[in-house]
Structure 1
Amino acid sequence: MVCALGAAVCFGTASVLQAAAARSAEPGTGSGVDTALLWRAARQWRYVAGLALDAVGFVLQIIALRNLPVYAVGAALAASLAVTAVVAARVLRVRLRGAEWAAVAVVCAGLAMLGLASGEEGPGKGSLGLQLALLGAAAAVLLAGAACGGLPDRPRSLALGLAAGTGFGVVEVAVRLIDTVSPAELRNPALYALLLGGGAAFLLLTSALQRGSVTAATAGLVLGETVGPAVVGVACLGDRTREGLTWLAALGFAVAVGGALSLARFGEPPPAGDSPPAGAPAAPR
């Protein structure tokens, strides 16, 4: 759980840097999958620093996923929005209202409940059918993003955020389906699902950060990377709770994700070149 929370800190801090870089990059064609946008954003030090934090967070996420149920790690990663809010308050001088500080406390309370109720990771390693389904889901994420280019800004942002969250969710499950780092794993479809899902998620999220309602994108992101993987973990991988504490785990999951969703306004960075006024929000992972 310490590693999962460390990953949330890395992802939440990277959010503030990456969203500002994405918004200041030159606009592209408006396509849901704008590969050139990644290149334009990557020429800025803020985006590169955010990627470095993401890399550290990903390592911590892998450690957590190898020791905790997927639902616990997913809820902890959703808490990166609480981290983003706190970092924005300090770095960007964003003023958090009392209700938002309360939401941060709610997220922490939900994670504490999950920490108390979570058991060890389930014994299931997943079937070949699940591995292929993950690969198909990763490809569907990329295709869905490509189809979002013609949508109006708000539904486009929500669709891109949900697709990006699904891509990150594919990564969470795929980590559990990869046993070792060895040449034998090159035959494992989950490895390619991880690479395709993670790459597609970064592409779509960067596009969502650039224009439209990133607040809507953030809500979709949180839902996509928590609910689906949690269901797969319980149904297919044998994730369970401590004896008699299933209710506490379910309550903690709902409280943590709900608190994160209430902080979704921190997905909206200030316009490029503007100084963030009091109350202006920051950015999502």
Structure 2
Amino acid sequence: MICALGSAVCYGTASVLQAVAARAAEPGTGSGVDPALLLRALRQWRYAAGLGLDGLGFALQIVALRALPIYAVGAALAASLAVTAVVAARVLRVRLSSTEWAAVAVVCGGLAMLGLASGAEGHGTGPAALRWALPAVVAAILLAGAVAGRLPGRARALVLGLGAGFGFGVVEVAVRLIDPADPLAPGNPALWALPLAGGAAFLLLTSAFQRGSVTTATAGLVLGETVGPALVGVAWLGDRTRDGLAWLAVTGFAVAVAGALTLARFGEPPAPAGPGGTAGKRAGGRAGGRAGE
């Protein structure tokens, strides 16, 4: 759990850096899947620094997935939004309301419940079709990204965010389906689905950060990377809770994800300053917050 929370700290801090860098990159064709956009974003030092943190977070995530059920790791990663909120409050001078500070506390409480209720990592391997389903899901994610490029703004951001979340969810499942005794076995489709899913997720998430509401995209991301992998872990990989504490795990998972969704607006970079030198309100007063320059 310490590794899972450390991963959340890395991912949450990286989100602030990458959101700002993606918005600073020059727009491209408008397609939902635009590899050139990722290359342009990489020219921003903030995006490169965020990738470094993502790499460290991924290493910690692998350790966590080898010891905890996927649902516990997924909820901990959703808590990266609480980290993003706190970092944004300091780095971007975004003000947290009392409700949002309460949401941070709710996320922490949900994770505490999960920590108490989580059993050991399951040892199921699932059906063989599950491994072959992973690359198929990656192909579907890329197709959804291409379609999302033609959708209106909010719908596009949601589909891109969900696609990125599913991509990161495939990574979580793939880690569990790779045999640690023979991790480089070429016959295991989970091995090559892992980098493909991670790459697809970064493409879609970067496009979402630049072209649409990052708040909406981040909410989709949280849902995609928590709910789906958690269900796969319970249904096919043998993830369980401590005896008699299933209710506490379900409650903790729901509470942590709900608190994270409350904080989804903190994937958003600050609004540009208006003529008077102060930042304008976000569209529609999103989440009731204002952002300073």
Aligned CA distance change for structure 1 residues 281 and 242 (closer, same or farther; 3 Å): farther
Partner SS for 2:50: helix
Mapping 1:50-89, distance limit 5 Å: 50-89=50-89
* Cross-structure match for 1:238: 238
Partner SS for 1:21: helix
Aligned CA distance change for structure 1 residues 183 and 79 (closer, same or farther; 3 Å): closer
* Cross-structure match for 2:266: 266
Partner SS for 2:109: helix
Partner SS for 2:86: helix
- How far does residue 41 in structure 1 lie from its aligned partner after superposition? 0.5
* Cross-structure match for 1:153: 153
Aligned CA distance change for structure 1 residues 51 and 152 (closer, same or farther; 3 Å): same
* Cross-structure match for 2:212: 212
Q: Unmatched 5+ residue regions in structure 2?
A: 282-288
The answer (yes or no) to whether the contact 1:266–1:281 under 8 Å persists in 2 is no
Q: TM-score, normalised by structure 1?
A: 0.95
Q: Deviation digits for residues 54-93 of structure 1, max 9, x if unmatched?
A: 0000000000000000000000000000000000111112
Return the letter of the residue paired with 2:258.
Answer: G
Mapping 1:176-255, distance limit 5 Å: 176-180=176-180, 182=182, 184-255=184-255
Partners of 2:224 and 2:11 in 1: how far apart? 16
* Cross-structure match for 2:41: 41
The answer (yes or no) to whether the contact 1:24–1:273 under 8 Å persists in 2 is no
Return the letter of the residue paired with 1:236.
Answer: W
Aligned length: 282
Aligned CA distance change for structure 1 residues 231 and 145 (closer, same or farther; 3 Å): same
Partner SS for 2:217: helix
Mapping 1:165-180, distance limit 5 Å: 165-180=165-180
Q: TM-score, normalised by structure 2?
A: 0.92
- How far does residue 182 in structure 1 lie from its aligned partner after superposition? 4.5
* Cross-structure match for 1:30: 30
The answer (yes or no) to whether the contact 1:23–1:272 under 8 Å persists in 2 is no
Partner SS for 2:123: coil
The answer (yes or no) to whether the contact 1:177–1:190 under 8 Å persists in 2 is yes
**% identity of equivalent residues:** 74
- How far does residue 267 in structure 1 lie from its aligned partner after superposition? 2.0
Partners of 2:3 and 2:114 in 1: how far apart? 14
Return the letter of the residue paired with 1:7.
Answer: S
Partners of 2:248 and 2:124 in 1: how far apart? 23
Q: Unmatched 5+ residue regions in structure 1?
A: none
- How far does residue 242 in structure 1 lie from its aligned partner after superposition? 0.3
* Cross-structure match for 2:127: 127
